[in-house]
Chain A
């Protein structure tokens, strides 16, 4: 029988040890990696392409849900959490199974059994988990940070640090004071997730952060030219100029 490739993600060593121990009697599960945070997990998931994740929700910097949002392909997941009413509510709503710490071998076996039957029925992706991930997204009203996956690592961009965002074909390029990041999302999509009082769509292809504006200058055709703190200059479209003037009032 084909082995089930698994990755254990938990920030506490004892938590990972426990899963290892519970897995001893399940020889068909092959643990390929143990990760203590989302950064390690992204690398491990890219390397091993696991069938199953043991995923703790509370982790430093990037929590379990945020990690899932960065995955292109969602493996089967056994969630665990100690006490997180928000997460538990999300699981309940979307009928996703989860383990509450501390859990017994029996409870663990039951969760694993469910996943095993799903894996056997090949190519099965748990729709409930997909729904859960979509549900989890609008946690905060506006994004406070953007997680950008770069191969095997995760970059965390604080939205405050963004100077401007530029639309490229089917992704955007996020410019901070010293850096540039490519982010796999459309400009319009990103616009809706940013605080409209600070991040203004000044052009079909640009969003600027008002706090990063150093100088505004009149330009031809009733337009404005904007000098940003990172040294870049952007010519703002006429409709963008109107919008900006309205904002500055």
Chain B
């Protein structure tokens, strides 16, 4: 039995294991159905075990001839029995090594998958956020240009002012395009430019009230949230309704670690209010907040009062 435990016997297997490594790489786990997979490895193990035994016995046989069989024979065990058991043992070793290799391969793949998935998630989130961000509404652009056109002769100073506002608005929107969070004061600047243009267009039809807590101005805020909400107010309060419309924008701290942002518009609505479909704009903002804060945010729409439409957002202070 000394051959079973002698280290020399297993030296050839060190070389064979390199071979097994490649076999395992070629036949990845799960590529074939389980029976095919097992039969394949079984055949390989049979062959490999033969090779292993040949590597042990052929050189010995060449050196000492038939003598070796009598050396092998021990007690009750014949030489064939010993070689037979060694053969079976070789098959077992093959499966153990293959098992270890598959574990290593699987673990590596798993780690890679986790990494790639995390990366993908991050990339899609960014891409989504970018895609969801407002693009300047063409309707707004052309109407503003038409207003400028009217002002050029009537009130050139105001026309220039509006050109400046419109250029600023575009410049900021280009700057903000790739930002996800930014200081509230920058977000507000953008909203203010937008409101200033709309104020020129609609003059006394549009009334704006603002209440911003100055302690929040440097806090992080999601980019391009306010302007689409204000645009929504204008849409519902001015372009779809007759008469005046007052827009309220309030941004206040809530529970020391949150920001509450409330934007509402009035305007007598002669069309049933509860029939207003929440447009893609609002859905879009909600989607972005979800991507940004998971479930750690709140988004309410309140149109219970017949001539008021309110959107309330509560987000963590970034």
Interface residues, chain A, with chain B CB atoms under 8 Å away: 11-15, 17-18, 21, 36-37, 39, 58, 60-61, 82-84, 100-103, 145, 156, 158, 160-161
Contacts and interface: CB of A to CB of B under 8 A. Distances in A.
A158 B275 contact: yes
Nearest 9 interchain pairs by C-beta: A18-B150, A101-B146, A82-B142, A14-B150, A102-B149, A102-B146, A102-B145, A14-B147, A83-B138
Contacts of B143: 12, 15, 82, 101
B270 A61 contact: yes
B264 to A, nearest CB: 19
A21 B150 CA distance: 8
A39 B142 contact: no
Contacts of B242: 36-37, 39, 60-61
A14 B275 contact: no
B241 interface: yes
Contacts of A103: 146, 149
Contact of B139 (A36, A60, A82): A82
Interface in B143-160: 143, 145-151, 153-154
B142 A18 contact: no
A102 B153 contact: no
Interface of B: 138-139, 141-143, 145-151, 153-154, 200-203, 238-242, 270-272, 275
A103 B146 CA distance: 7
Given A60-B240, A60-B242, A61-B240, A15 B146 contact: yes
SS class of chain B's interface: helix, strand, loop or mixed? Answer: helix
A102 B242 CA distance: 23
Q: Which of B142, B201, B242, B272 has the most C-beta atoms of chain A within 10 angstroms of its own C-beta?
A: B242
Contacts of A14: 146-147, 150-151, 200-201
Contacts of A60: 238-242
B272 A58 contact: no
A12 to B, nearest CB: 6
B203 A21 contact: no
A17 to B, nearest CB: 5
A120 B219 CA distance: 66
Given A60-B238, A158-B272, A13 B203 contact: yes
Contacts of B202: 12
Q: Which of B151, B238, B239 has the most C-beta atoms of chain A within 10 angstroms of its own C-beta?
A: B239
Contacts of A156: 270-271
A8 to B, nearest CB: 12
Contacts of B238: 60
A15 B150 contact: yes
Contact of B142 (A21, A61, A101, A145): A101
B201 A58 contact: no
B146 A160 contact: no
30 contacts: A12-B143, A12-B146, A12-B201, A14-B146, A14-B147, A14-B200, A14-B201, A15-B143, A15-B150, A17-B150, A17-B154, A18-B146, A18-B149, A21-B150, A21-B153, A36-B242, A58-B139, A58-B239, A60-B239, A61-B240, A61-B242, A83-B138, A83-B139, A84-B139, A101-B143, A101-B145, A101-B146, A102-B142, A102-B146, A145-B271
Contacts of B200: 14
Nearest to B243: A60
Contacts of A58: 139, 239
B146 A158 contact: no
Q: Which of B150, B239, B275 has the most C-beta atoms of chain A within 10 angstroms of its own C-beta?
A: B150
Q: Which of A15, A58, A84, A101 has the most C-beta atoms of chain B within 10 angstroms of its own C-beta?
A: A101
A158 B271 CA distance: 8
A13 B199 CA distance: 12
A12 B147 contact: yes
A102 B141 CA distance: 10
A82 B150 contact: no
A61 B145 CA distance: 23
Contacts of A21: 150, 153-154
Nearest to B203: A13
A84 B63 CA distance: 96
B271 A61 contact: yes
Given A13-B203, A58-B139, A82 B146 contact: yes
Contacts of B147: 12, 14-15
